[in-house]
Every structure is written in C-alpha cells, then in structure tokens.
Amino acid sequence: MEHTSLLERILRGAALTLVVIFFMFPIVWILMMSFQTNETILRIPPQLVFKPTLANYTALITGKLTTAAGTLDIAFMRNLWNSVFLSVTSVAVALLLGVPAAYAFARHKFRGSEDIAFTLLSFRFAPALLVLLPLTLYFQKLGLANTYIGLIWVYQLICLPLILWIVRGYFEDIPADIEYAYRIAGHSWFATFRKIALPLAGPGIAAAGLLAFIFAWNNFIFALVLASADKQPVTVGALAFITSSGIQYGQISAAIVLSITPTLALALYAQRYLVEGLSLGAVKG
C-alpha cells in the first residue's frame, strides 16, 4: 500500500479544497444571491451572512416582478417551458434523423458521402449571425417566423451535425464482422441495425444526445431573432430582468439556478453513459 504521511494528506486536502472553491465559487455565489434582495446584494462590502428570502423565486413562479417603479409581468416560467420543449423536441428530431444517417455514412461509402457529411459539419463553422438575416426573411415569407416548428427546424443546425458526427464514429467502431454475423444468421439489415448496431452504439448515442441537448439549451441568438416573447427560451427571457429601474440581480440569480437545474439533473443522470460513451473500448468484447 502507498504510504502517505499526515502532512502530505493535509496538504493534499488543502489543495483539493482550493480547487473546489475556485471552480464552485461563482455557482455558490449565484445560489446565495438568489436568496437575497437587490439591496443586500448591492451592499458594500458584500456580506456572507444575510436573512434569506424566497421573494425572487416567488416572483419568478407567479410571474409578477415588483420593482421600485411598479409591478411588471414577466414570463419566466413560460420561457423555462419553452426551453424544455424546444430542446427536447430538437434533440428528438435530430436523433431520429441523425442516427440512421450516421449509420448510412458509417457503413455505406457511396459517391459523395464524405462531401455530404462534411457539408453538414460545415454548418457549424459559419457564424450564426451570417445566416440569420436571410433565414429571417425566408421564415417570414414561409410563415415559419415565431413558430415552434420554425425554431426546432433551425435548432437542427446545432443538433444534427453534432449527433451525426459523434454517432457515426461509434458506428464505425463496431467491427463489420459482428453485423455480418447477424446477417448471415438470417436477419434483415433493419433487424441488424436495431438489434446489433443501436445497442452497441448506445452509450455514444446517449452522449451525443446529451451534448446536443446542452448546446440547444444554451442557444441564444437564433431564438432572440426568430421568436417573440411567448416562444422564447430562458436564455433570451433573462433579458427581461434588465428593467427601467435597474438590473434585478436577485431574480436573475434565481432564474439561473432554475434554468441550469434541468441540464444539471440530466448530466448527473447520464453521467454513467457519458463516461462510458466518451471513452473507447465500449464495443470491444
């Protein structure tokens, strides 16, 4: 067994604490701010001891923001719901389209397949602002502006290339012989896809889906331009806290806490798959 002296253990503990404090401080600070009023937050010097209040959370949940200038309606819960709906639907659509496409790109090298795959990836290279103006004009003509369908469609620019390229790598890692063996045993190519390729690439698909979800959740610019208040996700909705009577730090903090909760919960739940999926050797028996 490795021998460690008491001093070594103490130093190691101190170093670890330092690292944790460094990385966790902003999150802890936001969590603390979310339980304070604007006045206590802005007090100088800042105080670690305060009387916690749930006013920020109640304001968000009831949708009534009380400021010095009067009462203001905010649609935060609506925004949160929009975020969940848009992200979940976008990832679902992207998985539905992307996974079979990834399988096709991995297993069937047809003329131009590399070019098509690369073109899809290149959607991620262009700055979003570059495509937004023409996209807005088209969407207004097509009647897709300010609709969920339009937004989910645009979100495919974020999700689809990500899923396609990650999942394709996992399919390529499955030895072709394993699929051949299943075909020779008398199963159709579709059964082989369902019973062999999908389960073996499962961890990779879960990892890609989670990453796509996080990217979709964090998106700001598409929704800002293409959606109006009732379709906007939390990232855009947070702008409402910059009011005429000042920035509502307490509500912003509470909003941040509420909006990182779903992704955090999902990441914690899928952690096992993520680690399994992002490290190689999952397939090799």
Partner 1 sequence: MASLELRNVVKRYKSQTVLDNLSLSVADGETLVLFGPSGAGKTVLLRLVAGVIDPDEGKIFIGGEDMTDLDAEFRGVGMAFQNFALFPHMTAFDNIATPLQAKRSSQNAMKAGVESVAKLLKIGHVLSHKPRALSNGQKQRTALARALVGSPPVLLLDDPLRNVDAKLRFEMRLELPRLLADRGATVVYVTQDYKEAMALGDRIAVMSQGVIKQLGTPEQIYREPANIEIARLFGDPTINLLDVKPSRDAKGIYVGLSNVQVHLTGAYDATVGRDCVIGLRPEALRFVDDGTPAAIPVTIEAETPLNEKIVTLVRTVRGREILVSRPAGTAGQIEGRAHIAVDGKGALLFDRASGDRIGSKNVVNLHSGEAA
Exactly one of 109, 129, 184, 244 binds partner 1 (CB under 8 A); that residue is 184
**Calpha distance 137→176 (Å, rounded):** 46
Binding mask 245-284 for partner 1 (x = CB under 8 A): --------------------------------------xx
Exactly one of 189, 228, 265, 271 binds partner 1 (CB under 8 A); that residue is 189
Half-sphere exposure of residue 20: CA atoms within 13 angstroms, side-chain side: 6
With vertex at residue 246, the alpha carbon angle to CA 244 and CA 252, rounded to the nearest 5 degrees, is 110
Q: Closest distance between partner 1 and the C-beta of residue 198, in Å? A: 10
Among 122, 144, 141, 123, CA closest to 226: 144
Exactly one of 26, 45, 134, 285 binds partner 1 (CB under 8 A); that residue is 285
Q: Closest distance between partner 1 and the C-beta of residue 173, in Å? A: 12
Distances (CA, A) of 56 to 51, 222, 241, 243: 13, 28, 11, 15
* Binding region for partner 1 (CB under 8 A) out of 62-70, 103-111, 196-204, 239-247: 196-204
* Closer by beta carbon to partner 1, 39 or else 177: 177
CB 124 within 8 A of CB 156: no
Q: Tokens 């051949």 map to which residue?
A: 180
Contact flag: residue 182 with partner 1 (CB under 8 A):
yes
Exactly one of 26, 109, 186, 244 binds partner 1 (CB under 8 A); that residue is 186
* Closer by beta carbon to partner 1, 125 or else 190: 190
* Closer by beta carbon to partner 1, 127 or else 281: 281
CA-CA-CA-CA torsion for 154, 199, 270, 217, nearest 10 degrees? 0
Contact residues for 94 (Cβ-Cβ < 8 A; gap 6+)? 155, 156, 159, 160, 162, 163, 212
* Closer by beta carbon to partner 1, 176 or else 239: 176
Sites for partner 1 among residues 201-240 (CB under 8 A): none
Contact flag: residue 181 with partner 1 (CB under 8 A):
yes
Q: Where are the alpha helices (DSSP H) in the chain?
A: 6-33, 38-41, 55-62, 76-107, 113-122, 128-142, 148-173, 176-184, 189-192, 198-218, 221-226, 234-237, 249-278
* Closer by beta carbon to partner 1, 128 or else 196: 196
CA-CA-CA-CA torsion for 96, 101, 106, 108, nearest 10 degrees? 140
Exactly one of 101, 102, 200, 205 binds partner 1 (CB under 8 A); that residue is 200
Contact flag: residue 108 with partner 1 (CB under 8 A):
no
* Closer by beta carbon to partner 1, 92 or else 178: 178
Residues that bind partner 1 (CB under 8 A): 175, 177-178, 180-189, 196, 199-200, 283-285
